[in-house]
Amino acid sequence: MQERVWRPDWPCHPLGILRQHRHGAADPTFRIDPDGTVWRGIRTPHGPVTLRVIADAARGEVVASAWGPGSEWVLESLPALLGAEDDWSQFEPRLPLLAEIRRRHPHARQSRSGLVMEALVPAIIEQKVTGKEAFAGFRALVHRFGERAPGPGAERKLWLQPTPERLRAIASWEWLRMHIDPARSRAVVSVARVAESLERTVTVSHDEADRRLRSVPGVGVWTSAEVRQRAHGDPDAVSFGDYHVAKDVGWALTGSEFDDARLEEFLEPWRPHRGRVVALVGIAGLARPRHGPRMAPRTHLPAG
């Protein structure tokens, strides 16, 4: 085990920030203890790792412990993972409601994991399906083709996502058994083939990262934004094409639902911090009333 005690310069709540990397309540790579301790199974550039993070509120410290070959890398990356690189100083709320939300949540931070494939694979699986279907598919993928996290992670039934090599070797019928259709499985295989190149996008500008991500077949505007929010810490990334985002932001800030075109126009004055507007609406729990028809899970795929 390696350990790091880090003292942030703001009241840091690790669980609230790390939840940005959780894909459903039963995400096998993410565990939460009753006392708020977070456990994550992470595949770093230096190998797998089990990460345990807990806040010592009395001391104003965060205590992180790590097991596995990637321990040194993940502990060095801890501040960025918990939002230390997220700078809100240039953000102008412009609207009284946004200013009030920011006042009530002055320590909200955006995480930056620096791990592209970790964010990209579940984002692809979440394309154009219900959350229930997406999270089930991701769990099945991790359980069938991932591996147990090292050290105490195994005892806690903590898993690691599959390697790019494993993803490339999954047969077409195996994807269908996991309720992941050919369009999404082809996209996962495509990104797995260029995984090393995509991981390097964390070293370039956000615009260039967006261009490189979207150059891969099956990765569009929505998927790129989902990845840049988590892996790159891009404050301008907006998930255009989401089933709820445009409608919820429009309803919360103007009283009328937006489509994507209207949302893009509305958010333009906040560039390059457009994603912060969406984040504040989400933090405040503002969402339009769900009275309309809901997206239904598909039933034509074979049972796993």
Q: Using CA atoms, how far apart are residues 178 and 133, in angstroms rounded to an integer?
A: 10
Give the pLDDT confidence score for residue 292 in this predicted structure: 56
Average pLDDT over residues 10-24: 96
Q: How many Å is the Cα radius of gyration of the chain?
A: 19
Mean pLDDT for the chain overall: 95
145, HSE (Cβ side, Cα atoms, 13 Å): 20
Give the pLDDT confidence score for residue 291 in this predicted structure: 65
* Residue 200 scores a pLDDT above 80: yes
To which H or E segment does residue 66 belong? strand 61-67
* Residue 63 scores a pLDDT above 70: yes
* Residue 297 scores a pLDDT above 90: no
Q: CB–CB of 37/54 below 8 Å?
A: yes
DSSP characters over 198-225: HHGGGGS-HHHHHHHHHTSTT--HHHHH
* Residue 299 scores a pLDDT above 50: no
Query: What global pTM score does this model have?
Result: 0.93
Please choose, from the candidates 162, 271, 262, 269, the residue with its C-alpha nearest in 3D space to the C-alpha of residue 207.
271
Q: CB–CB of 12/83 below 8 Å?
A: yes
Average pLDDT over residues 188-199: 98
* Residue 226 scores a pLDDT above 60: yes
pLDDT, one tens digit per residue, over 136-161 is 999 999 999 999 999 999 999 999 99
Q: Using CA atoms, how far apart are residues 292 and 210, in angstroms rounded to an integer?
A: 33
Average pLDDT over residues 4-29: 96
123, HSE (Cβ side, Cα atoms, 13 Å): 27
Give the pLDDT confidence score for residue 303 in this predicted structure: 40
Q: Which domains does the chain have, with CATH numbers?
A: 2-97 (3.30.310), 116-148+161-232 (1.10.340.30)
Give the pLDDT confidence score for residue 289 in this predicted structure: 86
Give the pLDDT confidence score for residue 290 in this predicted structure: 73
Average pLDDT over residues 1-16: 96
pLDDT confidence of 301, banded at 50, 70, 90?
very low
Cis peptide before 28 (omega within 30 of 0): no
130's CB contacts (< 8 A; 6+ apart) are 295, 296, 297
Phi, psi of 243 (to 5 degrees): -65, -25
Average pLDDT over residues 242-254: 96
* Residue 295 scores a pLDDT above 90: no
Q: Using CA atoms, how far apart are residues 213 and 282, in angstroms rounded to an integer?
A: 25
Q: Name the one residue in this structure whose structure tokens are 């909200």.
A: 108
Give the pLDDT confidence score for residue 265 in this predicted structure: 98
- Collapsing DSSP to helix, strand or coil, 17 comes out as helix
Phi, psi of 30 (to 5 degrees): -140, 125
Maximum pairwise Cα distance, the chain? 54
Q: Using CA atoms, how far apart are residues 149 and 10, in angstroms rounded to an integer?
A: 31
pLDDT, one tens digit per residue, over 119-141 is 999 999 999 999 999 999 999 99
* Residue 293 scores a pLDDT above 90: no
Average pLDDT over residues 179-183: 97
Average pLDDT over residues 44-54: 98
